[in-house]
Amino acid sequence: FDALHALQSLDPKYDRIQLLGIIQADPKYVQLLKSNRLVIGCRLCLTAESIHMFATNAWQELFAVLKAERKWLELFAVTFEHLLVAITTIPGDVPLMVDHLGAFAPRPTMRSYMSFLQVLKMRQGPYMLKGPGYRTSWNADEVSPFLAVAADHLDRGWILLSCTDAPYVRLADRDRPPSATWALEWVDRLQNSVGGTFGEQATNALIQCTSIKDNFS
């Protein structure tokens, strides 16, 4: 934020730039969620311990603030089991953003993934799958079945693909971290793979499903 303010002091043209960010999900940051309009949500790395804390008053207050402020709770799960438990435990009206399409490596079975999508659709609040998808596999053809199924089923949700944690995250099966350019080109390959493999209907569903709200586009 300090760097942006410095730029804005040099030239008014930078006044139109906004930085939107996700902070750590922790009850001690509730006031920051309330007061900072540039914070659009908070991110939680799911563990058995963090899920156990959801029933405490502090976490229930955090969930209530996210709902009232219409800000996202971003879930990162290393195990698919933790993700399923969290989605069914977190109040259904809290806006949820599920990282890595909900299919972080090792990939779940397609049957398990379909069950996850059905549980997600039952929530009353908004929900979103966040990509880009190469943390599932760097081979776009291996990720496209998950994306096609999600695009076809999440009629009320969104899928955000044009995003990346490159260049600072190394992929498990590659020698070097990907560049941001590589990551965004990979997203194009993924979308092309969905259309080429699953046809026009899946492509249209993906286009419809990726119509993100203006402030997330």
pLDDT tens-place values along the chain, 217 residues long: 566 677 778 777 767 666 668 899 999 999 999 988 888 999 999 988 889 999 999 999 999 999 999 999 999 988 888 999 999 999 999 999 999 898 886 788 999 999 999 999 999 999 989 888 887 888 888 889 998 899 888 877 788 877 666 555 655 555 666 676 777 788 888 888 887 776 666 666 665 555 443 333 3
Q: What is the pLDDT of residue 20?
A: 67
Q: What is the pLDDT of residue 93?
A: 95
Whole-angstrom Cα distance, residue 153 to residue 67? 24
What are 24's two structure tokens? 């750590």
Beta-carbon contacts of residue 55 (< 8 Å; ≥ 6 apart):
none
Residue 40, H or E segment:
strand 39-46
Q: What is the pLDDT of residue 56?
A: 95
Whole-angstrom Cα distance, residue 156 to residue 161? 16
Q: What is the pLDDT of residue 3?
A: 66
Q: What is the pLDDT of residue 214?
A: 36
Q: What is the pLDDT of residue 174?
A: 59
Q: What is the pLDDT of residue 216?
A: 36
Whole-angstrom Cα distance, residue 8 to residue 27? 32
Q: What is the pLDDT of residue 18?
A: 62
Whole-angstrom Cα distance, residue 62 to residue 57? 9
Q: What is the pLDDT of residue 211?
A: 47
Q: What is the pLDDT of residue 175?
A: 63
